[in-house]
Amino acid sequence: MKIRLVGGLMLTAISIVLFESCVSDKDSSGLEYMPDMYRSPAIEPYVDYGEIRGRENADLKMQQSALTPPHGAIPYYGTNVEDVKLMMPWSILPSADFKLTHGLTGFDFAKNGLNTYEVDALAWNWNPLMMDIEVVKTGETMDRKNLTLDNAKKLYASNCMHCHGEKGDGNGPMMKSGAFNGVPNYADKSALSDGQIFYSIYYGKGAMGSHASQLNKKEIWSLVHYVRQFQNPDYDKVAKESAILKKGEEKAIVKVTAMVASVVAPTEDNK
């Protein structure tokens, strides 16, 4: 009697498992027994986590993966014209010496003997990235927040602060530990053009290597804005004041430029 009871229970359990494994979706694997034995839950390189196991994450889907596009290829950056322009190959090439000093691979280089940092980058005295200012009206009060600098602060904390310090004074944890030295104080580098700051982050400068594989061009230009804060605490004051709401709006994100009046961004006529 006991044997029949046990056998009946086992048969019932097996039947339940078999029926539960049957689904209408022909692409589904059905009920999976110990899926981690063959489906790794770990985060793996070169995997599109914008869509996995039938779930789509719209925030991740359009982000560039760890896979580096082939040299000369233009990766897809969406349909926003201004963003796409920022992502295009930079017209200023690294000096030929960088082949040896900074180990840049997959880059085109300037002609031998031409110091593009002191020539072309020095002449690039504007930041093409407009800043996003969030404006919120509360009664008669206008509150303004610089979203571009807020985001750049996070990038700075994860990519720059360990050497350059929280205040940009060149006194980060790596300096205090004695591992490196000679990191400059940004406050002493106000004479640098925006192009030279971008050049230093993108291609590298001195003991600092290139960040081209870690940060895209839009992120680097936002860091250029952030560095300027260390040189001028009121750097974005005019930008904030120029951000205004349209009639009837209570809240909006306004794109503004931080360029001073004496600096004119190039056009097709004055490049």
What is the per-residue pLDDT for 268? 40
Q: 198 lies in a domain?
A: yes
Global model pTM greater than 0.75: no
Rounded average pLDDT over 130-143: 91
End-to-end CA distance of the chain: 95
Q: State residue 140's pLDDT score.
A: 83
pLDDT value for 159: 94
DSSP classification of residue 241? H
Q: What is the mean pLDDT of the chain?
A: 82
Residue 72 belongs to some domain of the structure: no
pLDDT (0 to 100) of residue 177: 87
Residue 77 has which token pair?
A: 């950056």
Is the pLDDT score of 38 beyond 70? no
Mean pLDDT of 91-118: 90
Report pLDDT for 267. 42
- Does residue 105 lie within any of the structural domains? yes
Tally of structural domains, the chain: 1
Residue numbers of the domain that contains 240: 93-256
> Residue 194 domain-assigned?
yes
pLDDT at 271: 40
Report how far residue 87's alpha carbon sits from residue 217's, in angstroms, rounded to the nearest whole number: 6
What is the CA angle 216-171-123, rounded to 5?
Answer: 45
Nearest to 253 by CA among 168, 159, 134: 134
Is position 64 within any domain?
Answer: no
Residue 195 has pLDDT above 90, yes or no: yes
Domain assignment present for 79: no
Query: 20 lies in a domain?
Result: no
pLDDT score at 8: 72
Q: Which of 24-28, 209-213, 221-225 has the lowest mean pLDDT?
A: 24-28
Contact (Cβ atoms closer than 8 angstroms) between residue 247 and residue 137: no
Q: What is the CATH number of the domain that holds 179?
A: 1.10.760.10
8 lies in a domain?
Answer: no
Q: Is the pLDDT of residue 2 over 70?
A: no
